[in-house]
Chain A
Amino acid sequence: MDNTNLKARILEIVPDAQQEENKQYLTLLVPAAKLHELAVKLKTTADLSFDFLFCLSGVDYGKQLAVIYHLNSTRHKHYIVLKVKTDDRVNPNFDTVCDIWRTAEFHERETYDMFGIRFNNHPDLRRIFLDEDWKGYPLRKDYVDEVNIVEF
C-alpha cells in the first residue's frame, strides 16, 4: 500500500491524526488517547498488518515529550511512523503497546528510564539501565548533572 492509501486508511480509524513532514516515512501525529486502539487495528487489519515495531524512541521536544513508533509490515513491506506527544512534563503517560508488539516491553522501559514517560498497563515498568534510586531522567533536555556531564 502506498503512503497516500495508508494515510487514508489511518484517517478512517483516527480522523484527527495529523501528517508531519518527513521525506522518508509517512509520519502521523496521533492523539495519545487513540494510540492503543490504532495500534491494535494496525496490527490486526489484514491489509495493514504492521507486525514489526522496529523502533520505539522517546524524544524531548522542549515543551513536549513524545514517543515515536516506527512500524513495518513484514508482509506488505510498507512503513509508517506514529508519533504521540504530551505537554505534561511532570507525569507524562501513554498507553503501552507491548501487548501488541512484545518488543515494546524493553523499549518502553528504556523510554521510561531515560524520559520518565510512563506507559499504562506495562507489565514490568522499572528502570532498565539506571539504578532504581536514580534522580531525574537523563535524556530530557532539562536534566542537570553537575558531576557527570562536563561542559566544554
Chain B
Amino acid sequence: MTFNIYDFTSFTTWIDQSLNSLMSPTLALITEMVIIGVVFLLFYAVVGLFLVYAERKVCAFMQNRVGPNRVGPYGIFQTIADFIKLLMKELVYIKDSDKLLFNIAPFIVIIASFMALSAIPFAKGLHAIDFDIGILYVIAVSSLGVVGILLAGWSSNNKYSLIGAMRSGAQIVSYELSVGLSLLTIIVLAGTMQFSEIVEMQSDGWFLFKGHIPAFIAFVVFLISSTAETNRGPFDLAEAESELTAGFHTEYSGIKFAFFFLAEYMNMFLVASIAATVFLGGWMPFHISGWAGFNTIMDYIPPFVWYIGKTAFVIWLMMWFKWTFPRLRIDQLLTLEWKYLLPINLVNILLMAFLVLMHWHF
C-alpha cells in the first residue's frame, strides 16, 4: 500500500481489500460504514468547533476587536471550553412542550447536515459515496434540516420560537428553489450530477471561469440563497436575535442548543463545500491551460488543501456578509427571492443553455 496525499484511491482500496480479506463482505461493509461514521463524526466535531472559533475571530477583526484570546494561545481552545460548558449545563424542560418532538428536533437538524456531508468529495479518492445524482442528493438531504427547525419552534411552546420556525419554513421553501436552480445552471454546463465527474471536468479550469458570465451570476445567486438557506445573517430571521430573542432555539439549553449551534456551522461548511466543488473546482488545483510550469507548481499543493482553502474562502465570504449587513424583513426576504433571484436564475439557465449549445464556454 502506498499512502499518497495527492491520491487517496490506493489508500481507500487498500482498506477495503484488507477488510474484505479479514471478514465476510457484509461484515466488511458494516465495518467500513462504522469507520466512515466515526471519522465523519470526528471531522464534524473538529470542523464545527473550529468554525465557531473562526467566526468569532473573523467578526472580531471586522469589528476592530481582538476576539477570544483567553483560553489557550490566541484563544484557540475557547470553543472547547464553551462546549464543555454547554455539556455541563442543565437541560431545561419546558412546561407544556411536546417532549418527544422537542427532544428529536436537534437530532433531525444535525442528522440532515451529517447525511449531506457524505456526498462531498474531499480529495481525490476521499469520498464516502459517489452518487451519480450527488447534487440532487445533497439538495434533498440538506433541506431536511428545516423540519427540525419547524419542530423545534412548534414543540417549544413559545411564541417567539413559533414565529421563528414559521419564518424559517417560508424562507427555506423559497430559497431552496434558488439553490437548486443555480446548481442546475452548472449541471447544464457539466452535463452530470455526479460530484466526482464535476470535479474531474474542472481539471483544466474551474466552472466559474469556464462558464464565465452565467456561471458567475449563478455563483452569486448560490452564495446569497445558500446563506439564506443556512439561516445566517443577513437572512437569520429564524433566530432574529433583536426581534425574537433567539427564535426557534430560544428554549433550548445545554447540549441540545449546542447541536443547533453546531448544525448551523456545519450547514455553512456544507454549502461552502458545495460551492467550492461545483463552482471552484473542488479539490482540483488551480490550472490555467497552456501554462504548464504554473500548473505543475499548483499540483504540488495537495488536493485536500485546495478543497479546504476554497471552502474556507467561501465561508469567509459568508461571514463577511453576516457581519456587515443588517437583517432583512420577512417580506423583503421573500421579495428578494421571488422578484429578483428566481427570475434572474431562470434567465440565467436559458443563457447557460444557449452558451453550451453555441459552445461559447471555455
A and B, direct touch (CB closer than 8 Å): no
Q: Which residues of A contact B (CB under 8 A)?
A: none
